[in-house]
Structure 1
């Protein structure tokens, strides 16, 4: 690992739609002496923030330029179309891009989907942000196709959304500068990947516990631990008339009757 190992705090950037609450909670439990600061950032500005050192790591949307940034893909989002509640799309469970061909579909400048050909009919102007596009949907100007997390983020009571089966999908990743993979970054990677507190990267494996010895049988043994066989025709040390320890194959005699 490189970089400073004595950072007084950890700065975590996140793009709209990502909810880092669970990971922040685990961080606070494991590293209570290292405050974590959340920094919200637009999707198209997140990489410059990481490169400029304004955040130690960040939740971003792929693709990531791997020239100077590292990234761990985390999950892929469902793509949905946001529509007014009285729109025909609201009556079905799922649609395709062909089902949107006759509608105006807004394509904001901060769109996070990698469209080759956006569906529907284009609007006269592209909205500046996804939030602006949602307001236009509510005004009846058109529809909006976005990752589900953004539809939830900009939820309105007069709008709903439905999955789009064949639309591109957005993938969320954890990213950080390659040259700044500090101990704290490694700690956060472990949290995101679900490592327990005792299984973080670089921790030596626990020593194997000694096996419990089984209780030896009540047999005479020599120094090497092997069972010692009595010589033929000799006693094993028990009473001469017990019959035990005799030569292999010898018959057991009948005990004498006492007078």
Structure 2
């Protein structure tokens, strides 16, 4: 006797039922790896601009304090750098060592240079602090007759003293050594007052020489390199105010 119920196939599914379609793996699209977005490259910051600067040459003894202060107040973004000069090589240094301008002692070969005289320096006689010459407040050439005149190799005045004796020893290399020599009681030296002050010593003294040579200090620069910075410094040394017109 047959059992009730529909017949089933071997697989246990009811007879006549459709077999579910097999999943065709090849037909299923494979998930592809997502392409990585390259990281944005941050560009390197540009190098900072070169610091603005104004290079000013200066001979020993030059009086620059007020001008330097005025420059720093008016031109805070442009550094003023001081470059020491020697009298004998001041023109060469100005033209060959990257200076914008220079405060020099005249005379100087002015070919290709612009020149503005600034001030004249009085000559003084430097002696030992115990010299009889210190009894006077001022001296004249006639007071120096018979004295030993020492002229250092870096002399800037070329003094000629009637009646003075020439030193019998080799000239000192520079003014500082010459002043040390006269401080020891040997001879005299004639220099601009600023150099006497620069090399001041307790054992030396100086007196103004009324009829002595003068030393003119000037501002010079290469004419073809008259930059706005040079113009600004010219305005300062000529006493212009920041708002004054050029003159």
RMSD: 1.6
Q: Does 1:152 align with 2:204?
A: no
Query: Which ranges of 4 or more aligned residues in structure 1 deviate by more than 6 Å?
Result: none
Q: Secondary structure at the match of 1:136?
A: helix
Question: 1:67 pairs with 108, 111, 127, which one?
Answer: 111
1:188 matched to which residue of 2?
A: 233
1:112 matched to which residue of 2?
A: 156
1:30 matched to which residue of 2?
A: 74
Q: Does 1:58 align with 2:102?
A: yes
Measured at CA, do residues 199 and 60 of structure 1 come closer, stay the same or move farther in structure 2, by a change above 3 Å? same
Alpha-carbon shift at residue 91 of structure 1 (Å):
0.4
Q: Deviations over 1:27-48 (max 9, x none)?
A: 0101100011011111112111
Structure 2 length normalisation: TM-score? 0.76
Q: Secondary structure at the match of 1:74?
A: strand
Alpha-carbon shift at residue 128 of structure 1 (Å):
1.4
Q: Does 1:92 align with 2:136?
A: yes
Alpha-carbon shift at residue 7 of structure 1 (Å):
8.2
Cα distance in structure 1, aligned partners of 2:125 and 2:71: 35
2:59 matched to which residue of 1?
A: 15
2:19 matched to which residue of 1?
A: none
Q: Find the structure with the greater CA-based Rg.
A: 2
8 Å contact from structure 1 (residues 12, 57) kept in 2? yes
Cα distance in structure 2, aligned partners of 1:200 and 1:8: 24
2:47 matched to which residue of 1?
A: none
Q: Structure 1: which 5+ residue stretches go unaligned?
A: 1-5, 203-259
8 Å contact from structure 1 (residues 186, 201) kept in 2? no
Cα distance in structure 2, aligned partners of 1:95 and 1:29: 41
Q: Structure 2: which 5+ residue stretches go unaligned?
A: 1-49
8 Å contact from structure 2 (residues 153, 172) kept in 1? yes
